Amino acid sequence: MNTQSTAETNPRTAPSDGESGVDLAWLSERVSYPLFQQCIHCGLCTASCPTYVETGDENNGPRGRIYLMRSVVDGRLGMSPEVRKHLELCLDCRACETACPSGVQYGKLIEPFKIEMLRDAPPGAGLSLLQKLVLHRLFPYARRVRVALLPVRLLQKLGLMKPLERSGLFNLLPPTLRNMAAMVPTLGPASNLPEVLPAIGPRRARVGLFLGCVTDVMTPETTTATARVLQQNGCEVVIPRSQACCGAIHYHSGAETPALSLALQNMNAFDVDGLDAVVVNAAGCGAMFKGYEHILPPEEHERAARFVAKVKDVSEFLVELGPIAPKHAVSQKVTYHDACHLCHAQQIRAQPRQLLSLIPGLELVPLPESELCCGAAGTYNLTEPEMSQRLGRRKLANIESTGAAVVASGNIGCTLQIARQIREQGLAIEVVHPVDLLDRAYRGEA
């Protein structure tokens, strides 16, 4: 005899949207109900969840959040401010997926809920107007970000940025702008790469290089290093001018429609039939690319599957290709931080370490809690600054404990978050992408 309730077997019979606080019909189209039923409530995920580790609150862990989401869909619970807060506090780092013995696809549950909570946010909840402008109108567009950062670039050039920070004038800015200003690194010259870069030596592969939006503006030296490393490994590098933001910023902040448009634009930009791979050097962008088949409508699934099959993180691609060992030493003690969307969303852990181990003179030391989120989580440091800071300080304490002079990470969000913590503490630790170190080893730069 089937003892499941009607609401469990058919979530659409749950109370009306007005009673639940969210659009249940919209959610039921995007959340497969059996995903809830995969969770056996064993609790093995809790120790891997950053917000549970920090707060000790069951509702701030994956098991608790799954119970809350299922209760909302079943009609047993409304989307109250308390429920919203527990779900909004989730970093979507996917560490619980790595820990789960039942293979629960937590990301496919929380992401639609986060989108819907922002779509139907009551007054006073959700994103502020300024946050929407920043996340939807600024960050996803590299040219706009470059223009917005011109005053910062000028202040840095004149040596006035640090005196202004010390003066406390930045405290007069709205919290969102204050947090943004604190995240900006020392800005280097633009990458300005041509559309096609030839392979060095015999051509082994032809790859497309994804530039990203924030990545190429904030750390253009990493973009250039990625291209050079690919060339050194016998790759012809193609950089389509029509590529766009991966869509993650829009998608994870509730703007689904523009995210899907950006996804289609990128699929059109890269001629996957003529490329051996589409190489990405930012974990968040790579995870978003690999999720296109899931988020796009059914009529695009076949084309999205072909695109996704070619998407590779730069470390993943180089290890599969067979990296050429560099000859020059980089004699530094380095520790490696696992970006959440690399190790959890893409299951890429060994490859970056393999590349670093190729560098002569480099001492790679393990990082405690390496797979625990640093608190960046895309735009989380703007929407949940308090928890983001707590996790950032925890990450920095672990980095300090290694005695490393350099910390490497494969995601722009992690790089900016960790570098901010280092600056605020006045420490002399360099934050880089693994390809930056590999590039130095190829070129002979200390």
pLDDT for position 337: 97
Residues of the chain with pLDDT > 70: what percent?
95
Name the domain boundary from 65, 87, 119. Answer: 119
Give the count of domains, the chain.
Answer: 2
Residues of the chain with pLDDT > 90: what percent?
66
Q: Are 246 and 266 in contact (CB under 8 A)?
A: yes
Q: What is the DSSP letter of 300?
A: G
CA dist 411 and 405 (Å) reads 19
Bridge partners (DSSP) listed for residue 334: 364, 406
Q: Is 380 domain-assigned?
A: yes
Name the domain boundary from 119, 134, 152. Answer: 119
pLDDT for position 18: 53
Name the domain boundary from 119, 147, 168. Answer: 119
Q: Is 76 domain-assigned?
A: yes
Q: Are 285 and 248 in contact (CB under 8 A)?
A: yes
Query: Residue 141 has which token pair?
Result: 């567009």
Return the SS3 of 365. Answer: strand
pLDDT for position 9: 38
pLDDT for position 95: 94
pLDDT for position 14: 42
| Domain of residue 384, CATH code | 3.40.50.1860
| Domain of residue 74, CATH code | 1.10.1060
Give the domain range for residue 94. Answer: 6-119
CA angle (278, 378, 312) in 5-degree steps: 15
pLDDT for position 1: 29
Q: Is 239 domain-assigned?
A: no
- Which parts of the chain sit beneath pLDDT 70? 1-19, 446
pLDDT for position 167: 83
Q: Is 100 domain-assigned?
A: yes
Q: Are 95 and 44 in contact (CB under 8 A)?
A: no
Query: Residue 31 has which token pair?
Result: 């959340």
3-state secondary structure 16-48: CHHHHCCCHHHHHHHCCCHHHHCCCCCCCCHHH
Bridge partners (DSSP) listed for residue 336: 408
Query: Residue 336 has which token pair?
Result: 């490696």
Return the SS3 of 215. Answer: helix
CA atoms within 13 A on the CB side of 426: 2
CA dist 442 and 21 (Å) reads 56
Q: Where are the beta strands (DSSP E) in 118-219?
A: 196-197, 205-209
Q: Is 57 domain-assigned?
A: yes
CA angle (403, 324, 331) in 5-degree steps: 25
CA dist 97 and 106 (Å) reads 6
Q: What is the DSSP letter of 345?
A: S
101-133 residue pLDDT tens: 999 999 999 988 988 888 877 777 777 888 888
Q: Is 411 domain-assigned?
A: yes
pLDDT for position 446: 61
pTM: 0.89
Q: Is 220 domain-assigned?
A: no
Q: Is 300 domain-assigned?
A: no
Tally of residues, the chain: 446
pLDDT for position 16: 44
